[in-house]
Structure 1
Amino acid sequence: MEIKVLGCSGGIGAGRRTSALLVDDDILIDCGTGVADLSLEAMARLRHVFITHTHLDHIACLPLLVDTLFSRLQSRPLVIHTRSDCMRIIHHHIFNWQIWPDFFELPERERPVVRFEEMDAARPLDIEGRRVHMLPATHTVPAVGYRVEDDRGAFAFTGDTTSNDDLWTALNDHAGLDLLMVECAFPESERDLGRRAGHYCPSLLAQDLVKLRHRPRVGISHLKPGAESETFEDLRRRLPERDLVRLGSGDVFKI
């Protein structure tokens, strides 16, 4: 598998793109502003979008992506995978004819260009040899993470979450993990705000990483603009034994 970071920032600004990962050339995990940097040809190769949760920085490009690909999707719809409650939020608040056309009914209700498939926490989804598992997350809205594996290895993306024993238990239930992409949105100076917002800060993430029995490379995402270096360096001091990398748009990992 090849994983390309299209966006991983906790905000926008020069060089900053919000959450989106491209797996090989046909799967997206989240659909933040990083998707806008794909060429039209690259967008046309997309077949599946896995959504972690419905906050705007993770779905901002979803309605624009569908609109851009509308004519191409009439023969093969784009499949959106997430929890049923997340999909209801997207349908009600985005594809509602007021914010954006309801592409679940276009060009016709019987053959829409977008199709929804509910994820089952107990059953991984197989997409041409890549198995996608849903992971628990704790956030201010319904949220999940994802673990993706093939016969060579596995990576996981937490999406947005704060301290959550179930996440680490789920990761430990599998035999291995090569790459973990985990958020650490807030600097330690804003620990209380981070907890209320459902995000990690360095001390909370350092405490939780001890629970992980695997030793993957750990990519840090969702750093808040202006505090990126402060937060990442704090993490490195707290976790000197871990292989940490500060994620950036354009980073590519091969599993």
Structure 2
Amino acid sequence: MEVRVLGCSGGIGGLDVRTTSLLVDDDILIDCGTGAGVLDVPALMAIDHVFLTHAHLDHIAYLPFIIDTVGDYRSRPLTVHAAPETLRIIRSHIFNWLIWPDFSAIPDRAHPLMRFNELRIGEWADIDGRRITALPALHAVPAVGYQIRSETGASLVFSGDTTVCDAQIEAINAINDLRALIIETAFPNMQHDLALAARHLCPQMLFSVLDRLIVSPEIYVTHLKPAQAAEITAELAAYSGRLKPQILRNDQVFTL
């Protein structure tokens, strides 16, 4: 199984700065930010499943465009997996016929171009031997992270957007086959109060998470705000703990 980083920034700016989306093999997206825009139409047609961490625009922005572009090419609906609260938000505020058509009712509800699947914390979807499990997260809106586990028994965890979350740390520590942890750090330390208010992480907060991990994955940091990326990177380099954080990059590939 391969996980390719399509976008991993907290903002946009040209081809190199694009928001969160991960491609699992060729048929699964984890979040659907502007990073998904690098895929051409044949690649978009191959997407059968989208897993959303939460309903903020930087994580869902391209979902309406994808289903509008490829729906008529497909013989089966695109399945969108998310927590019940997230699905309620996007159905009420995006696919509501005002912002965008409700593709779960096109051409009709018996034969939709898109369908929704509720995935609560601790539940998983098994897709051809690949298991994707919803993990706890703590953000400004209802949110989850995901464990992505391959058929060969290796896992990657994506934290989603979160502040320090005791339940997520506990869940991560229970994953014995964890190879990599992709975890957000959106703000520099000087914006610690803003990170707390927005329920994101800054480097000091990330370090407190890493210090509590008993597993030993590679650590990759995502969701840096572009204006503060250099400052955050310098602060991350000062960490003296056991697990050394690296900056996640566009087009990085994880093989599990």
Could you tell me the TM-score, scaled by structure 2's length? Answer: 0.96
C-alpha contact 1:182 1:219 (8 A) present in aligned 2: yes
Residue in 1 that maps onto 2:154:
153
Residue in 1 that maps onto 2:192:
191
Q: Does 1:141 align with 2:141?
A: yes
Residue in 2 that maps onto 1:83:
83
Residue in 1 that maps onto 2:35:
34
SS of 1:108's equivalent in the other structure is coil
Q: What is the aligned-residue identity percentage?
A: 46
Shift of 1:190: 0.5
Residue in 1 that maps onto 2:234:
233
- The separation in 2 between residues aligned to 1:239 and 1:145, in whole angstroms, is 26
Residue in 1 that maps onto 2:218:
217
- The separation in 1 between residues aligned to 2:244 and 2:40, in whole angstroms, is 32
CA offsets per residue over residues 137-157 of structure 1, 9 Å max, x none?
Answer: 000100000001122411000
C-alpha contact 1:216 1:243 (8 A) present in aligned 2: no
Shift of 1:215: 1.0
Letter in 2 for 1:60: A
CA offsets per residue over residues 46-93 of structure 1, 9 Å max, x none?
Answer: 1100000000000000000100112123x2100000011100100110
Residue in 2 that maps onto 1:174:
175
SS of 1:227's equivalent in the other structure is helix
Instruction: Answer with 48-57 or 174-183: which moved more.
Output: 174-183
Shift of 1:242: 2.1
SS of 1:238's equivalent in the other structure is coil
- The separation in 2 between residues aligned to 1:112 and 1:82, in whole angstroms, is 18
SS of 1:111's equivalent in the other structure is coil
Shift of 1:239: 4.0
Residue in 2 that maps onto 1:248:
249
Residue in 1 that maps onto 2:48:
47
SS of 2:226's equivalent in the other structure is coil
Shift of 1:210: 1.2
Instruction: Trace 1:108-119 onto structure 2 (pairs within 5 A).
Output: 108-119=108-119
In the alignment of these two chains, the number of paired residues is: 254
C-alpha contact 1:223 1:231 (8 A) present in aligned 2: yes
- The separation in 1 between residues aligned to 2:228 and 2:249, in whole angstroms, is 14
CA offsets per residue over residues 183-223 of structure 1, 9 Å max, x none?
Answer: 00000111101110110000001011111111111111000
C-alpha contact 1:3 1:24 (8 A) present in aligned 2: yes
Shift of 1:111: 0.9
Letter in 2 for 1:123: E
Letter in 1 for 2:178: L
C-alpha contact 2:211 2:241 (8 A) present in aligned 1: no
C-alpha contact 2:121 2:144 (8 A) present in aligned 1: no
- The separation in 2 between residues aligned to 1:38 and 1:64, in whole angstroms, is 12
- The separation in 1 between residues aligned to 2:38 and 2:178, in whole angstroms, is 29
Shift of 1:103: 0.5
- The separation in 2 between residues aligned to 1:41 and 1:104, in whole angstroms, is 22
Q: C-alpha root-mean-square deviation of aligned residues, in Å?
A: 1.1
- The separation in 2 between residues aligned to 1:41 and 1:198, in whole angstroms, is 37
